A and B are shown apart, each in its own frame.
Chain A
Amino acid sequence: MQYMFLIYLDEAKFADMTQAERDAFGNGMLDYDEVLKASGHFILGEPLKPPAEAITLRAWEGPLTLTDGPFMETKEHLSGFILVEARDLNEAIALAARMPLVTVGSIEVRPLGVLERV
């Protein structure tokens, strides 16, 4: 089974940290990726640039409209993702629980669905 870890962070919390603390999280996440790669769980994972760099598209009434910023204005925003292969939901939870960012952010674990042509 494949699971997506969606990492939600509060930018304000990071702004309050020292540079050394922020670096420790960055390096910790790189180490974590290496552990997941070594154990064969890692499929894909990247950080996302801050929501200020996002643009949201809609064409609900015909013409395309573009909005600066993320889809939703929230305190915690999506700031990265990791796609893993795990035996089941509990293994995925055990893997996500070891992510260094779990101490400051929220990790949403979502199984990948299958869209079948009908």
Chain B
Amino acid sequence: MTDLAAIWNSERQRVLATLIRLLGDFDLAEEALHEAFLAAAEKWPRTGVPDNPFGWLVSAGRFRAIDQMRRAARLVHDLPDIAAPESPADWADDGLRLIFTCCHPALPAEAQVALTLRTVCGLTTEDIARAFLIRPPAMAQRIVRAKARIRAEGLRYEIPEPAELPGRLQAVLHVIYLVFNEGYLSQAAPRPDLSAEAIRLCRHLAALLPDGEVMGLLGLMLCHEARREGRFRDGAPVALDAQDRSLWDAAMIAEGRGWLDRAFASGSVGPFAVQGAIAALHATAPDSGATDWAEIAGLYAVLERLQPSPVVRLNRAMALAMVQGAEAGLRQVQPLTRGALADYRLAHLAEAELLTRLDRPDEAARAYDRALEISAGAERPAIEARLAELRAGAAGQENRPRPAAG
């Protein structure tokens, strides 16, 4: 029986993906999947596990679904056509078809995330609701509506045509990265399981579709995840330069770098691969001072061309400050804190750090005050500590230079 649990874990997603294609309906396929495993639990202990458990489960699920439709037809008098099973070669891409359908642009972004987590990753509605801090009935409705929309709009269960693929793939990668960040960025309640699901999904995608951006995203997520330990101390965030780097997972960083090498070798380098390369430079540096800031600034310049945004410009300015000095960084940061990033806490913190390094404590204190004004409760103690440190320094103690957080 331990076999069945292992097979459930390894085959569940593939069997479901194929059943959705054969049956043309998410709910019917889920029920068929359930019944197929029920049949296996009943039969395999007596007959042994078949040579091809995947094929057996697909056939059993399809058979049960037809049987159930026949029963239902007694009430509705209408038996839909069901595709006959074909050669196993047609099954290989079903996992991809499922991801593309769940992340179809006709569905609202939040529904794409919910449907992917439930159908592709196998999380329960209640788990997803907890992760996104909404009540389970609201999440359940979101999922029901998404499935209804797929049915109503007749969204085809297919891998997009090559001409459409880049845009559609971008949507899929975006959903995967959202799922990852949901599990990684939240400091109140980090959810390593969500990050692990995102990485697993991206690995799966990279195996099926080794595109540069797929491998780039995988490398990026691994280089972040490897540094999960060390980001918080007693619940408070720890700046990159103050983190204990011995807590980082060197093997995972090496794996991430391997994927990034492959991404850059593929010739199609996009924003995820560039962000991955930046994360890898941070992850492999022995300390903040020995980080290749010039290379990081250069990569941010590339990223800004690919995906212009004020936050990217802020990060580039901070890397530049490490290479050309705080004065040069400040010249680029101040237009942002007085413009596009006036309500962005990290921009004011960056400005405060540069001003501290330039020994302009009064202006630095004002920048910290502005950061405090727009900070949530959990972020405040760390900022207040910096402010206190600064005031103590201004009162006569030695100013300790602090490099930027990356």
Complex Cα distance, B127 from A59, in Å, reads 40
Is the C-beta of B324 less than 8 angstroms from some C-beta in chain A? no
Check A88–B72 contact: CB distance below 8 A.
Answer: no
Which of A50-58, A65-73, A93-101 lines the interface with chain B?
A93-101
Partner of B27, one of A28, A39, A94, A111: A94
Decide: A35 near B68, CB < 8 A? Known: A89-B136, A93-B144: yes
Is the C-beta of B126 less than 8 angstroms from some C-beta in chain A? yes
Complex Cα distance, B27 from A50, in Å, reads 33
Is the C-beta of A31 less than 8 angstroms from some C-beta in chain B? yes
Contact partners of B93 in chain A: CB under 8 A: none
Contact partners of A1 in chain B: CB under 8 A: 124, 126
For window 30-56 of chain A, which residues contact chain B by CB distance below 8 Å?
A: 31, 35, 39-40
Check A93–B124 contact: CB distance below 8 A.
Answer: no
Partner of A89, one of B27, B75, B126: B126
Check A31–B144 contact: CB distance below 8 A.
Answer: no
Complex Cα distance, B139 from A35, in Å, reads 27
Is the C-beta of B143 less than 8 angstroms from some C-beta in chain A? yes
Complex Cα distance, B125 from A87, in Å, reads 9
Is the C-beta of B137 less than 8 angstroms from some C-beta in chain A? yes
**Min CB gap B145→A, angstroms:** 11
Decide: A94 near B124, CB < 8 A? Known: A28-B75, A31-B71, A89-B136: no
Complex Cα distance, B35 from A88, in Å, reads 16
Check B72–A98 contact: CB distance below 8 A.
Answer: yes
Contact partners of B38 in chain A: CB under 8 A: 39-40
For window 117-131 of chain B, which residues contact chain A by CB distance below 8 Å?
A: 118, 124-127
Check B140–A90 contact: CB distance below 8 A.
Answer: yes
Complex Cα distance, B118 from A35, in Å, reads 24
Chain B proximity mask over A70-111: 1 for CB below 8 Å, otherwise 0: 000000000000000001111101100110100000000001
Partner of A31, one of B74, B118, B125, B136: B74
**Min CB gap A94→B, angstroms:** 4
Q: How many residues of A contact B (CB 8 A)?
A: 17
Contact partners of B34 in chain A: CB under 8 A: 39-40, 87, 91
Check B31–A88 contact: CB distance below 8 A.
Answer: no
Complex Cα distance, B72 from A94, in Å, reads 14
Contact partners of B110 in chain A: CB under 8 A: none
Partner of A88, one of B27, B68, B75, B125: B125
**Min CB gap A17→B, angstroms:** 16
Q: Which residue of A lies closest to B124 (CB)?
A: A88
Contact partners of A35 in chain B: CB under 8 A: 68, 71
Contact partners of B72 in chain A: CB under 8 A: 98
Check B31–A94 contact: CB distance below 8 A.
Answer: yes
Chain A proximity mask over B217-235: 1 for CB below 8 Å, otherwise 0: 0000000000000000000
Is the C-beta of B255 less than 8 angstroms from some C-beta in chain A? no
Check B35–A39 contact: CB distance below 8 A.
Answer: yes
Contact partners of B261 in chain A: CB under 8 A: none
Partner of B144, one of A39, A90, A98, A100: A90
Is the C-beta of B241 less than 8 angstroms from some C-beta in chain A? no
Q: Which residue of A lies closest to B122 (CB)?
A: A87
Is the C-beta of B249 less than 8 angstroms from some C-beta in chain A? no
Contact partners of A88 in chain B: CB under 8 A: 118, 124-127
A31, A91, A111: residue with the most chain B Cβ atoms closer than 10 Å: A91
Chain A proximity mask over B59-94: 1 for CB below 8 Å, otherwise 0: 000000000100110110000000000000000000
Decide: A90 near B71, CB < 8 A? Known: A39-B31, A39-B34: no
- The 10 A-B pairs at the shortest CB distance, nearest first, are namely A88-B124, A89-B125, A94-B27, A88-B125, A89-B140, A90-B125, A90-B143, A40-B38, A89-B136, A90-B140
Pull 21 A–B residue pairs with CB atoms less than 8 Å apart, ordered by A. Answer: A1-B124, A31-B71, A35-B71, A39-B35, A40-B34, A40-B38, A87-B34, A88-B118, A88-B124, A88-B125, A89-B125, A89-B136, A89-B137, A90-B140, A90-B144, A91-B30, A91-B31, A91-B34, A94-B30, A94-B31, A111-B136
Other CB < 8 Å A-B pairs besides A40-B34, A93-B140, 12 of them? A1-B124, A31-B75, A39-B31, A39-B38, A87-B34, A89-B124, A89-B136, A89-B137, A91-B31, A94-B27, A98-B72, A111-B126
By a beta-carbon cutoff of 8 Å, the part of chain B in contact with chain A is 27, 30-31, 34-35, 38, 68, 71-72, 74-75, 118, 124-127, 136-137, 139-140, 143-144
